[in-house]
């Protein structure tokens, strides 16, 4: 059972911000939102995670709505190397597994 | 430092052959995971080790699949009598601590298995 809904694909322009949406309307109070990405022929790569507050690191920012039913991953200045499948994952803190959906295929165009 | 490595990167097997896929986790990582990724889909959990103990093998699709981690470091995923539906990318991941939903998992590049 998918806990998240993401668009199948999206394009963005190189140098511009990429905003990747994710819906998780059934998220529980203690579940985290994780983002991973998978560049072609590589394994998934951790990007960022959050519970309630917005988070930022050197790769991206994560904005979680107040009701926690949706979130947005922001890549501030997309480059061609950011072309990948991006996975939004809702994760119980007691669950060691990662449950991937189909993700969003993001294509950054020059 | 070195990340998770997997070998071989590519494997072609004839239907009915046995295959063994190797994973070298990040040194010192307690937890090790195997995932299977079919073409065009996200990875799906197969099994989990904490040190040498296999704590969860609920995702293994059949008894032809077997995984081990005898010394708590390197792990091997073995598939006996391969079938065409076993064709997929097999990903290994490791994390520093024991079971926790907050541990970051670091993935290897995967082994792409093609069964003819």
- What's the CA angle centered on B99, arms B22 and A54, to 5 degrees? 110
How far apart CA A66 and CA A52 sit, in angstroms, is: 7
Q: Which of A46, A92, A101 sits opposite B101 (nearest CB)?
A: A92
B104/A contact by beta carbon, under 8 A: yes
Residue A95 contacts residue B101 (beta carbons within 8 Å): yes
Give B101's contacts in chain A (Cβ within 8 Å): 32, 91-96
Burial B104-114 (b: 16+ CB within 10 A, else e): ebbbbbbbbbe
pLDDT tens-digit series, residues B89-114? 999 999 997 765 568 899 999 999 99
Q: Does A98 touch chain B (CB under 8 A)?
A: yes
Comparing CA positions, the residue from B16, B4, B19 lying closest to residue B78 is B19
Per DSSP, B18 falls in state -
- Residue-wise pLDDT for B36-59, tens only, equals 999 999 999 999 999 999 999 999
- Residue B113: alpha-carbon gap to chain centroid: 12
Nearest to A43 among B40, B102, B107 (CB): B107
Least confident of A40-44, A95-99, B30-34, B88-92: A95-99
Q: Does the pLDDT value for residue B7 go beyond 70?
A: yes
| B56 burial level (CB within 10 Å; 0-12, 13-18, 19+) | middle
- Span B70-86, mean pLDDT? 97
Where is B28: in which H helix or E strand? none
Chain B contacts of A90, Cβ < 8 Å?
A: none
Region of residue A66 (left: phi > 0; alpha: psi -120 to 50; beta: else): alpha
């Amino acid at each position: 059972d998918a806990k998240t809904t993401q668009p199948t694909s999206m394009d963005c322009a190189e140098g511009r911000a990429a905003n990747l949406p994710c819906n998780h309307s059934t998220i529980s109070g203690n579940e985290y939102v994780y983002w991973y990405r998978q560049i072609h022929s590589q394994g998934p790569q951790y990007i960022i995670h959050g519970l309630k507050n917005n988070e930022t690191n050197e790769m991206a920012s994560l904005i979680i709505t107040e009701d926690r039913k949706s979130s947005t991953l922001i890549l501030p200045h997309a480059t061609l190397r950011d072309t990948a499948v991006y996975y939004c994952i809702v994760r119980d803190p007691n669950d060691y597994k990662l449950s991937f959906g189909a993700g969003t295929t993001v294509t950054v165009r020059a | 430092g070195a990340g998770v490595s997997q070998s071989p990167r590519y494997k072609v097997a004839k239907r009915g052959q046995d295959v063994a896929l190797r994973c070298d986790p990040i040194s010192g990582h307690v937890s090790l995971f195997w995932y299977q990724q079919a073409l065009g889909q996200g990875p799906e959990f197969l099994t989990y080790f904490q040190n040498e103990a296999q704590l969860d093998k609920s995702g293994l699709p059949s008894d032809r699949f077997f995984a081990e981690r005898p010394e708590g470091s390197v792990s091997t995923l073995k598939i006996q009598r391969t079938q065409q539906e076993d064709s997929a990318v097999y990903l290994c991941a490791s994390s520093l601590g024991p079971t926790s939903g907050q541990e970051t998992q670091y993935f290897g590049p995967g082994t792409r298995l093609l069964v003819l």
